[in-house]
Amino acid sequence: MNCSGLPPPCLSDQLVSPGCVCAVPYRGTLFFRSPSFSDLSNGSYWGQLETGIRAKFRSLSVPVDSVALHDPSVNSVNNLQLALEVFPSGKTQFSEQDISDIGFILSNQTYKPPSVFGPYYFLGQPYSFANVVLIPSKSKANNRLPLIVGASVGGAVLVAIVLALVTIVARRKKRPKQNEERSQSFVSWDMKSTSGSSVPQLRGARTFNFDELRKITSNFSEANDIGNGGYGKVYRGTLPSGQLVAVKRCQQGSLQGSLEFRTEIELLSRVHHKNVVSLVGFCLDQAEQILVYEYVPNGTLKESLTGKSGVRLDWRRRLRVLLGAAKGIAYLHELADPPIVHRDIKSSNVLLDERLNAKVSDFGLSKPLGEDGRGQVTTQVKGTMGYLDPEYYMTQQLTDKSDVYSFGVLMLEMATARKPLERGRYIVREMKVALDRTKDLYGLHDLLDPVLGSSPSALAGLEQYVDLALRCVEEAGADRPSMGEVVGEIERVLKMAGGPGPESASNSMSYASRTPRHPYGGDSPFDHSNSGLPSARVEPK
C-alpha cells in the first residue's frame, strides 16, 4: 500500500487500494492448476502477477487503478488459489460494462500469466451496483454525509436529464436513417397480410400457411422431432413433391425474437452456395414464426464429435468438412453483396448432408457489413461465449475477422473434440500452453481427440493445421488471415493428409438414413452470477 501516512477513512463496502484510494473492488479467485514453484511466501511471484494483470486491463482500456492478490493457498485438488481484488480508476465503483470486461478478460483467458504459474481459470464474485449512499465507517467522516448525499442526488438528477436529452436527440436523428434502411431493404414486408402479420415477398422462398406445415410434420409429432434449442424445436417434414424439409418452429418465449427471424429470412433469401443451408420458405400464419429449410440428414458437426449423430469423422473427413464450412463463410465475406458476417460460427451451426458436406446454418445473428468500403460496423455484441472474438467484444467493432476468430476456435474443437469453454478451461489457452513445436504433433497428444489416433502418419498436416488455427485466434483482427486465405491453407493441409477431394462421397450411403438427436449440452445461456463468466449467448439488451 502506497500511503504516506495513515490510510484514509473509507465508506462501508469500500477498501483502501494499493494506490491508497478508497473504492469498491471487484473480487474473485484465480486458480492455477500446475505452478512450477512451491514457495508461497515469495512475494515476488504475486508482484509480478499483479503487474501483469493490471497492465493487461489498461492495455484494453479497462479503468483499473490497481490489482491486489492475497491469501495464497493450495486447495484439495492441488491447485494454487489466490484471492483477487481489482480496484477502479478515477471512480469509487465499477460500471456493469467494466465488470463484464474484467470477467471476459480473465474468464476467456485473454490475460496470459508468467509461465511459472501454468494454466488457470477464474471465478468471480457477484458485484453490487449500489444506488444507495454508502455510510462512512469512521465517525469522523459523519460530517461529510450531507455533502455526499447532496452530491449523489444532484449528480443523479443531472445525469438523468442529460441521458434523457441525448436519447431524444439520438432517436430523432436515427429515425430518418431507419426509414431509409427500410426503404432500401431487398425484402418487401407486406403489412396488409390477411393474417395480420408482416409477410415478406421473396424470390425463391415459399410462403407456407400453418395448416400446411402441421400436415407435413404429422401435427408436429414427436416422431418427427429432430432437435431443439433456445428458439424451439425442429421437425422433419415431407412436402407433397416428396422433398424432405426441416421445419424450425419458434416457441413462445423463444430466445430468437422477431428481428432474428426476419434477419434469417432476408439473408438466406439472397445467398446461394452449396456450403450454406438453403431456405425453402417460412410461415407467419396464426402468429407463428416458422422457417423451412432443406433437410440435412446427418445432424450437426457438434453431434458428430460426440457420436450422438452416429457419424464418426476421421482426420481427413474433418478437414474436408472444415474446408466446406470455410468456403461457405468465405462466400458470405467475399461474394455476398453487401458482405455478411455470420457472428455465430460454431460446431452446432455447421450441418452435414448425406455426402458429409458441410452447410453453414443459423443466420439469426448475422449482420451485413456497410457498403461504404469500411468493412466494419459498430453493433451490440452478439455471439456464443468461447467462440466470441475478444476484439469485437471489447470494441463493438464487427468485421469479417470476427468470424475468422470463431472459425479458429472451431478448428481447435475439431482437433480435440472438446468444448471451447468448459469448467473454466478455454481451448485456445489450453492449446497455447501445451504447444511444443520441437516435438512431433507439437506435443499435443493429451489434447487431441483419441478417435483420431496419435501417430504422425494418421494426423499428417496437423502441425500446419494448428498453426493456421492459432493465426485465426490472434487477439488483433489485423493479424488474422481472411477466410479466403483459410480456404487455401486447409486445401494444402488436406493435400498433405492425402484426403479425398471435396466432392468425394465414399461411404456416404451408410450415413444418410441416420436420425440426428440433440447436441451435447444445448445452446441455452448458463448462469454466471457466481462465476464471473458471461452467458453462453451474448445478447445485451
Instruction: Tell me the per-residue pLDDT of 96-143, one tens digit each, with 9 for 90 and over.
Output: 888 878 877 886 667 889 988 888 878 878 887 644 334 344 443 444
Q: What is the pTM of this model?
A: 0.61
| 189 bridge partner residues | 200
Return the C-alpha cell found at 134. 454508502
Beta 350-352 vs 244-250: how paired, if at all?
A: unpaired
Domain 15-137: give its CATH code: 3.30.70.1440
Lowest mean pLDDT across 66-70, 241-245, 370-374, 480-484? 370-374
- 382 vs 186, more confident: 382
DSSP character for 220? T
**C-alpha to C-alpha distance for 226 and 90, rounded to whole angstroms:** 54
Determine if residue 401 is labeled as part of a ligand binding site. Answer: no
Residue 256 pLDDT grade (very low, low, confident, very high; cuts 50, 70, 90)? low
Which 3 state secondary structure label does DSSP give 329? helix
The values of phi and psi at residue 121, to 5°, are: -145, 165
Give residues with Cβ within 8 angstroms of 438, minimum separation 6.
none
Strands (E), 270-385: 279-283, 290-294, 340-341, 350-352, 358-360, 367-368, 376-378, 383-384
Kindly write down the DSSP assignment for every residue of 494-508, as one continuous string. HHHTTPPPTT--TTT
| Given 285, 344, 362, 403, the catalytic residue | 344
User: For 162-196, how does the pLDDT look when each residue is reduced to its tens digit (9 = 90+)?
Assistant: 565 555 555 555 444 443 333 333 344 443 343 44
| 341 bridge partner residues | 367
Q: Is the pLDDT of residue 24 over 60?
A: yes
The values of phi and psi at residue 386, to 5°, are: 100, -40
Triad 273, 277, 283: Cα angle to 5°: 125
Domain 199-294: give its CATH code: 3.30.200.20
CA distances from 28 to 91, 94, 250, 395 (A): 20, 14, 38, 24
Tell me, yes or no, if 39 is annotated catalytic.
no
Domain range 301-538, its CATH number among 1.10.510.10, 3.30.70.1880, 1.10.287.3510, 1.10.3720.10: 1.10.510.10
Per-residue pLDDT at 44: 84
Contact 212, 506 (CB under 8 A): no
